Chains A and B, each alone.
Chain A
């Protein structure tokens, strides 16, 4: 399967702990997006990378959140000092994006479901 993969698929943690999620995009895709989806809502944009550069961060991304894409391939999203409000599905998507023309299809991974107790 050469789609977008995410690990782990599920994570249960206690409040205050740190968690890290990984996203492996489709291999030739240069753009990678992170979204968060809470119950009953549509996904919300968090941040995105063009190759290894993080180009945009949403206001939703507090300073407890950090994302990296060190070699322009896989990406990690870390949440420090987790809070119950961080409980959500974290989605990753990748696309082959040009510098302009953002109409390319985004391919989504299955998501990582986080539960903070």
Chain B
């Protein structure tokens, strides 16, 4: 079964500095992977998804992620953090029924 590990439960950055949210996957084959974001009191929103078409995936709001098979990683990055980026971020594989397998996520705080 596919699984992911988000290495940091909480990341804090200053506004205008780069963001790195780490995700490592465990799979015997190239998985489908998603990054979703959950803002406080708001619904879950897709940031980007990897489906083997391209290893560098660009998402919304300036986020991107690179699928690295050699490192079994799919880290989420953004060059410059904005206050509105403060939220919970989930790196998610897809289950056998198409269901998303959520972990605990990474909480991103952005300091002014």
Q: A42 with B45: in contact, given A48-B97, A56-B97, A102-B97 (CB under 8 Å)?
A: no
| Closest Cβ–Cβ distance, residue A5 to chain B (whole Å) | 10
Asked whether A41 is an interface residue with its Cβ less than 8 Å from the other chain, the reply is yes
How many angstroms from the CA of A33 to the CA of B44 in the assembled complex? 13
Would you give the shortest CB distance from A98 to chain B, in whole angstroms?
A: 9
B101 smallest CB distance to A (angstroms): 7
Knowing A55-B97, A103-B51 are in contact, say whether A108-B43 is a contact too (CB < 8 A): yes
CB atoms of A95 and B43 under 8 A apart: no
CB-nearest residue of chain B to A40: B104
Residue of A nearest to B96 (CB): A102
A54-70 contacts to B, CB under 8 A, are 55-56
Q: Tell me the nearest residue of chain A to B46, going by C-beta.
A: A105
A108 x B98 contact (CB < 8 A): no
* A48-B97, A48-B98, A95-B98 given; A109·B43 CB < 8 A: yes
| Contact between B94 and A102, CB atoms less than 8 A apart | yes
Q: Which residue, of A43, A44, A95, has the highest number of chain B Cβ atoms within 10 A?
A: A43
CB nearest to B52 among chain A residues = A103
> How many chain B residues have a CB neighbour from A under 8 Å?
22
Are the CB atoms of A103 and B94 closer together than 8 Å? yes
Question: Given A108-B43, A109-B43, are A31 and B102 also a contact pair (CB < 8 Å)?
Answer: no
Chain B contact residues: over half helix, strand or loop, or mixed? loop
**B95 interface residue (CB < 8 Å to A):** yes
Complex contacts, B103 vs chain A, CB 8 Å: 42
CB of B99 closer than 8 Å to a CB of A: yes
CB distance from B89 to the nearest CB of A (A): 10
B residues 38-68 in Cβ contact with A at 8 Å: 42-46, 49, 51
User: What are 28 A-B residue pairs whose CB atoms fall within 8 Å in the complex?
Assistant: A4-B43, A33-B98, A33-B99, A33-B100, A35-B102, A42-B103, A42-B104, A45-B97, A45-B99, A45-B100, A48-B97, A48-B98, A48-B99, A55-B97, A93-B44, A97-B98, A102-B95, A102-B96, A103-B32, A103-B49, A103-B51, A104-B98, A105-B34, A106-B46, A108-B43, A108-B44, A108-B45, A110-B42
